[in-house]
Amino acid sequence: MGAIYDAMVEWFTEDKWNFGENPEGSYIEMQVEGSNCTNWRCFARADEEREIFVFYAVSPVRAPEDKRSAIMEFLTRANYGMQIGNFEIDLNDGEIRYKTSVDLEGTKQVKPLIRQCVAACLSIADRYFTGIGGVLYANLSPLDAVTQIEGG
């Protein structure tokens, strides 16, 4: 494994998360319940070579092909000005996810940074999930969906 991976597993264990380890030891996976979305599939990955921790929250809904343009606009509008992390979409299958990461090079206090990275990811992903649903299922315009979330 590696120092970041070991610290990551230790933090999730200490914080009493229920997770599974990938047999190759490159990431761990878990299900997370939010207030707006009850089934986030999440991945935590340690990039030992570049000394980076990455956390993903994957939406349980995928954008169907006929809605991908609208979702791309929604995610682009949501990403604009986003200070921590970003939304991503796989244009091949419509998977939508939010990603946060932190550069841990030279850092001794890894676990507090992992905690902050995970908390930010889950908070932002869950906050914007209502907009994803609005665009996909309620024909809400991407601009209106972001405006409703950001109160602008």
pLDDT, tens digit (0-9, with 9 covering 90-100), for 5-57: 999 999 999 999 999 998 777 899 999 998 888 799 999 999 999 999 999 99
What HEC string does the chain produce?
A: CCHHHHHHHHHHHHCCCCCEECCCCCEEEEEECCCCCCCEEEEEEEECCCCEEEEEEECCCCCCHHHHHHHHHHHHHHHCCCCCCEEEECCCCCCEEEEEEEECCCCCCHHHHHHHHHHHHHHHHHHHHHHHHHHHHCCCCHHHHHHHHHCC
At 75-102, the pLDDT tens digits run 999 999 899 999 999 999 999 999 999 9
What was the pLDDT predicted at 129? Answer: 96
Burial of 4 (0-12, 13-18, 19+ CB in 10 A): buried
pLDDT value at 1 more than 80: no
What is the domain class of 3-150 according to CATH?
alpha beta
pLDDT at residue 152, rounded to an integer: 66
CA distance 36 to 39: 9
Identify the CA nearest to 64 among candidates 91, 38, 87: 91
For 107-149, the pLDDT digits (tens) are 988 999 999 999 999 999 999 999 999 999 999 999 999 999 9
